[in-house]
Structure 1
Amino acid sequence: MQDELQTSAEALAAELNRSVYIEAPGYIPLAVSAHYGAVDQARIDALLSRTESPELMAYYKPWRLDAADAPVHIPANEALGLLPRVVYPVRHNGRLFAHIWLIDADPPIGEADDIAVDRASRTIGRILFRRDEKVQERADADESALRILLREDLAGRQGVLDEALRRHDAAADAPIVVLVARGITVASTGEPVTADALESFAAELGTTSGGTAMIPAAWAPELVALVPAKGDVIAAAQRHAHAVRAVAARHGLRFAGIGFGSAVCGVDGLADSYRQGRYCARVAERLTPQEGCRAWDSLGTFRMFAEIPWTPSGVDMVQPGLSSLFDDDRSPLAVTLWTYLECAGDVQEAVGRLNIHRGTLYYRLGRAEELLGIQLGDGESRFRLHAGLQLAKLAGLGKDF
Structure 2
Amino acid sequence: MVSALQNLVDSLGHTLQRSIAVDDAEIRLIVYSSHYGDEDRARTQSLVERRVTGRMLEYLTGHGIKSWREPKYMDGDETLGLKRRLVLPLWSRHQLLGYVWIIAETDLNPEEMAASIETSTHIADVLSQLAEHERQEERQRETLARSLVAEDIDSRDNASRKLNGLGLFTKTRYFTAVLIVPAQGSPSSPSQAEPFSRDEVNRVMAPRLRETYLFAPVSDGALVVLGSEKVLRQAAAEAMARDIQKQVSLLRGSEGGNAWVIGVGAPANGLGSVHISFRQAVAAAKTAKAEGLGVGVWSSLGPATLLAALHVEKLDVDIVPEELRRLSTAYSPETLRLVEVFLDTAGSAARTAEVLHMHRTTVYYQLGQFQQSSGLKLDDGSTRFLLHLWFKIQRLTTLWQ
The bucket for the TM-score relative to the shorter chain is: 0.5 to 0.7
Q: Distance in 2 between matches of 1:203 and 1:122?
A: 27
Q: Distance in 1 between matches of 2:351 and 2:216?
A: 47
2:137 maps to 138
1:129 maps to 128
Please report how far the alpha carbon of residue 181 of structure 1 lies from its aligned counterpart in structure 2 after TM superposition.
Answer: 1.9
What amino acid is aligned across from residue 273 of structure 1 in structure 2?
S
1:31 maps to 29
**Which segments of 5 or more consecutive residues in structure 1 lack a partner in the other structure?**
38-45, 76-83, 186-190
Does structure 2 retain, via aligned residues, the 8 Å contact 1:312–1:395?
Answer: no
Q: Distance in 2 between matches of 1:35 and 1:268?
A: 49
**Could you state the TM-score of these two structures normalised by the residue count of structure 2?**
0.63
Does structure 2 retain, via aligned residues, the 8 Å contact 1:87–1:102?
Answer: yes
Q: Distance in 1 between matches of 2:266 and 2:10?
A: 44
1:163 maps to 162
Q: Against the structure 1 CA distance between its residues 52 and 138, is the aligned structure 2 distance closer, same or farther, given a 3 Å change threshold?
A: farther
What amino acid is aligned across from residue 141 of structure 1 in structure 2?
Q
Q: Distance in 1 between matches of 2:323 and 2:23?
A: 58
Does structure 2 retain, via aligned residues, the 8 Å contact 1:209–1:244?
Answer: no
Equivalences for residues 81-100 of structure 1 within 5 A? 89-92=89-92, 94-100=93-99
1:278 maps to 282
Select between 356-365 and 206-215 the one with higher mean Cα deviation.
Answer: 206-215
Q: Against the structure 1 CA distance between its residues 269 and 133, is the aligned structure 2 distance closer, same or farther, given a 3 Å change threshold?
A: same
Please report how far the alpha carbon of residue 266 of structure 1 lies from its aligned counterpart in structure 2 after TM superposition.
Answer: 5.5
Q: Distance in 2 between matches of 1:5 and 1:203?
A: 24
Q: Distance in 2 between matches of 1:324 and 1:201?
A: 42
1:70 maps to 70
1:324 maps to 328
Please report how far the alpha carbon of residue 162 of structure 1 lies from its aligned counterpart in structure 2 after TM superposition.
Answer: 1.9
1:40 maps to none
What amino acid is aligned across from residue 124 of structure 2 in structure 1?
G
Matched, 1:375 2:377: yes
Please report how far the alpha carbon of residue 184 of structure 1 lies from its aligned counterpart in structure 2 after TM superposition.
Answer: 9.2
SS across alignment from 2:154: coil
Does structure 1 retain, via aligned residues, the 8 Å contact 2:241–2:264?
Answer: no
After superposition, the C-alpha distances for 1:65-94 in whole angstroms (9 at most, x for unaligned) are 55x63358999xxxxxxxx999753113x2
1:305 maps to 307
2:339 maps to 337
Please report how far the alpha carbon of residue 333 of structure 1 lies from its aligned counterpart in structure 2 after TM superposition.
Answer: 0.8
Please report how far the alpha carbon of residue 375 of structure 1 lies from its aligned counterpart in structure 2 after TM superposition.
Answer: 0.9
**Could you state the TM-score of these two structures normalised by the residue count of structure 1?**
0.63
After superposition, the C-alpha distances for 1:10-31 in whole angstroms (9 at most, x for unaligned) are 999998989979453xxx4433
Q: Distance in 2 between matches of 1:150 and 1:250?
A: 28
SS across alignment from 2:53: helix
Does structure 1 retain, via aligned residues, the 8 Å contact 2:198–2:215?
Answer: no
SS across alignment from 1:382: helix
Q: Against the structure 1 CA distance between its residues 157 and 303, is the aligned structure 2 distance closer, same or farther, given a 3 Å change threshold?
A: closer
**Percent identity of equivalent pairs:** 18
Q: Distance in 1 between matches of 2:204 and 2:312?
A: 33
Please report how far the alpha carbon of residue 366 of structure 1 lies from its aligned counterpart in structure 2 after TM superposition.
Answer: 2.2
2:78 maps to none
Q: How many residue pairs get matched? A: 363
2:264 maps to 260
SS across alignment from 1:300: coil
Please report how far the alpha carbon of residue 250 of structure 1 lies from its aligned counterpart in structure 2 after TM superposition.
Answer: 10
After superposition, the C-alpha distances for 1:119-145 in whole angstroms (9 at most, x for unaligned) are 564354244323312322212222332
2:81 maps to none
Q: Distance in 1 between matches of 2:74 and 2:395?
A: 49
Does structure 1 retain, via aligned residues, the 8 Å contact 2:180–2:222?
Answer: yes
1:78 maps to none
Please report how far the alpha carbon of residue 276 of structure 1 lies from its aligned counterpart in structure 2 after TM superposition.
Answer: 1.9
Q: Highest CA radius of gyration, 1 or 2?
A: 2
SS across alignment from 1:320: helix
Q: Against the structure 1 CA distance between its residues 114 and 182, is the aligned structure 2 distance closer, same or farther, given a 3 Å change threshold?
A: farther
Q: Against the structure 1 CA distance between its residues 133 and 243, is the aligned structure 2 distance closer, same or farther, given a 3 Å change threshold?
A: farther
Does structure 2 retain, via aligned residues, the 8 Å contact 1:229–1:263?
Answer: no
Q: Distance in 2 between matches of 1:74 and 1:220?
A: 44
Does structure 1 retain, via aligned residues, the 8 Å contact 2:177–2:226?
Answer: yes
RMSD of the TM alignment (CA)? 5.7
Does structure 2 retain, via aligned residues, the 8 Å contact 1:206–1:216?
Answer: no
